[in-house]
Structure 1
Amino acid sequence: MSLQDQQAKYVIALDVGGTTLKAALTGPDNVPLFRARRDTATGGPAAVVDGILDFATELAAEGRARCGGPPAAAGLAVPGVVDEAAGVARYSANLGWRDLPLAGLLSERLAGVPVALSHDVRVGGLAEGRLGAGAGVGRFFFVALGTGIAGAIGVGDRMEPGAHGGAGEIGHVVVRPGGPRCGCGQYGCLETLASAAAVGRAWAEASGAAGASAADAARAVVAGDARAAAVWRAAVDALADGLLVVVNLLDPEVVIVGGGLAEAGETLLGPLRSALAAKATFQRLPTVVPAALGEAAGCLGAGLLAWDHVALPHTQEVSP
């Protein structure tokens, strides 16, 4: 570690979403020194990248004003397929980029500050594993149920990216062959059936209420609406099938459920635990718990990623 790194007091943590950029300056104790957010730029992939780079430049200026020097590193969480070792965002359907050397571009904009790049759900899992619901757990699986579904594999206090950056893609496990067509080109992927977006679409169709959301469906379930209960059961059943695949392949101690659909709390988790138990035969089931950090997980995880990069800038994740 260089003298500059030893003296550094903060890192930049940046969580890139399809609609919002969330950021923080965090110290070595993971306490945010400053928080900010802004809308993700529109106008195509180049505009999105320019917006990210400009925002990071402003954050670095804020850090210099507050702490008297440059950041030790930057941690960047983005959606899609990410090659962490190369620092390349391979693909993002929502943001429209392919094979984008985002870590290098950001490091260049920040005058050589080292940059660590990772998948947004993996970064959220890193935060949950060290600071949230997975703290102290030897092996866990973090699943985020939002517009799509993605997962992250936690082993100790590290996250497993896989050989090509695709570990944890539970959303594209086919659980209903011949089911709805997925954006990936397959039919019956889990995220077409059990994501917050999928539940919202199903409830809108069942209720006749255009624009209804998964939260609306959850409220209707609590109110005793039989149509909502049927929509909910179908989604929970599909999710349990997907998680049983995770149990068979990874044998986690804990499954941590986050994302927008998880805001339903025990309305989701209670039936999910029961469905998993009913489907299991020989498997020893994990504990299923809600995520603890909410939307703060992305920035917290990006900060952890950056501090890890300071300590071990050339060390790749270790496979289990």
Structure 2
Amino acid sequence: MKAALVGADGALLYEVRRATGRERGPDAVVEGILGFAAELRAYGAEHFGESALAAGVAVPGIVDAENGIAVYAANLGWRDVPMRALLAERLGGVPVALGHDVRTGGLAEGRLGAGRGADRFMFIPLGTGIAGAIGIGGTIEAGAHGYAGEIGHVVVRPDGPECGCRQRGCLETLASAAAVSRAWAAASGDPEADAADCAKAVESGDPEAVRVWLDAVDALAAGLVTALTLLDPRTLIIGGGLAEAGETLFTPLRAAVEERVTFQKLPEIVPAALGDTAGCLGAGLLAWDLVAPADGPAAVTGSGAP
């Protein structure tokens, strides 16, 4: 878990991290979040002279942000956790915003990071899975039911591996960091090998690593072209563990996307700028939007409590 006090200008005033404690069960994770938030608020009051005005929390899985409920998170064992109400009660009734982790990270990248100044962008982190955040005019489009941006479940190879969503050939089964790790472990014969090892082998010219890597890049390009065909973004922001390979990823990816487009306009394809602080910053922005809604930090810069 990452938590922070976030200033009105989006600055991280104080940041702290700790384990989720998920091995102790789903209720322990919820209690850990509530206690963590209360400690952070107390720290702000002591060190900044005033308590936080609002709170934001970003969680994985399926989120009903409108009603403040974490609907489902498989890796945490959650179902229908009323996170907003629980957190508001623990924090003495301050306003609380709940967001999906990737969409919240996309909000931060759009306002403060690689998408700053872009009126239309898509943020796509390549990690254990693949999700996406659709940025429009400084906000993130959640969709009618809160599922917008789930590009990882776009089928790019119908004869591909089975996905947890019960389709075959979903993008995240082929181009996530986890997918590259699996493919490289099999190809190299090393069960401990991961995507970072594959990237290093690509850089050293290993032909088998190049094959594995370019297969993932080709799948990713297919998914991105579907996204830009539907959304026509000005910028595609690629983050997550796989993006840490830098130009080892971005050079062939840009070429593969360009090769696939026909009538579509090529967006700028750039690495994410905020790293693993994006979700934490985005949660702060969600909180600030409760206090001073509109265009995020620009609406509240220059003053205000964390």
How high is the TM-score relative to the length of structure 1? 0.89
Matched, 1:41 2:21: yes
Counterpart residue number, 1:129: 110
Cα drift, residue 90 of structure 1: 1.3
Counterpart residue number, 1:216: 197
Cα drift, residue 67 of structure 1: 2.8
d(CA) in 2 for partners of 1:186, 1:73: 40
Counterpart residue number, 1:193: 174
Counterpart residue number, 2:164: 183
Query: Does the CA contact (< 8 Å) of 2:10 and 2:112 recur in 1?
Result: no
- Give the number of aligned pairs: 293
Counterpart residue number, 2:240: 259
Deviations 1:136-182 (A, max 9, x none): 11100000000110100001111111111111000111111131111
Give the secondary-structure state (helix, strand or coil) at the position aligned to 1:117: strand
Q: Which runs of 5+ in 2 are unaligned?
A: 295-306
Counterpart residue number, 1:3: none
Counterpart residue number, 2:280: 299
Matched, 1:270 2:244: no
Counterpart residue number, 1:56: 37
Query: Does the CA contact (< 8 Å) of 2:3 and 2:17 recur in 1?
Result: yes
Counterpart residue number, 1:68: 49
d(CA) in 1 for partners of 2:167, 2:26: 25
d(CA) in 2 for partners of 1:263, 1:198: 15
Superposed counterparts of 1:19-34, under 5 Å: 21-34=1-14
**In structure 2, what residue type is equivalent to 1:175?**
V
Superposed counterparts of 1:4-15, under 5 Å: none
Give the secondary-structure state (helix, strand or coil) at the position aligned to 1:39: coil
**In structure 1, what residue type is equivalent to 2:237?**
I
Matched, 1:163 2:163: no
Cα drift, residue 232 of structure 1: 0.6
**In structure 1, what residue type is equivalent to 2:31?**
D
**In structure 2, what residue type is equivalent to 1:35?**
E
d(CA) in 2 for partners of 1:148, 1:121: 11
Identity %: 66
Matched, 1:149 2:130: yes
Cα drift, residue 66 of structure 1: 1.6
Cα drift, residue 187 of structure 1: 1.4
Q: Where do 4+ consecutive residues of structure 1 move more than 2 Å?
A: 67-70
Counterpart residue number, 1:79: 60
Query: Does the CA contact (< 8 Å) of 2:131 and 2:150 recur in 1?
Result: yes
d(CA) in 1 for partners of 2:266, 2:83: 39
Give the secondary-structure state (helix, strand or coil) at the position aligned to 1:24: strand
Higher relative contact order (CA 8 A, sep 6+): 2
Of the structure 1 ranges 217-226 and 75-84, higher mean CA displacement relative to structure 2 is found in 75-84
Cα drift, residue 69 of structure 1: 3.3
Query: Does the CA contact (< 8 Å) of 2:127 and 2:178 recur in 1?
Result: yes
Counterpart residue number, 1:10: none
Cα drift, residue 188 of structure 1: 1.1
Cα drift, residue 59 of structure 1: 0.8
Give the secondary-structure state (helix, strand or coil) at the position aligned to 1:150: coil
**In structure 2, what residue type is equivalent to 1:294?**
G
Cα drift, residue 233 of structure 1: 1.0
Cα drift, residue 70 of structure 1: 2.6
Query: Does the CA contact (< 8 Å) of 2:65 and 2:97 recur in 1?
Result: yes
d(CA) in 2 for partners of 1:163, 1:140: 19
d(CA) in 2 for partners of 1:263, 1:288: 14
Counterpart residue number, 1:316: none
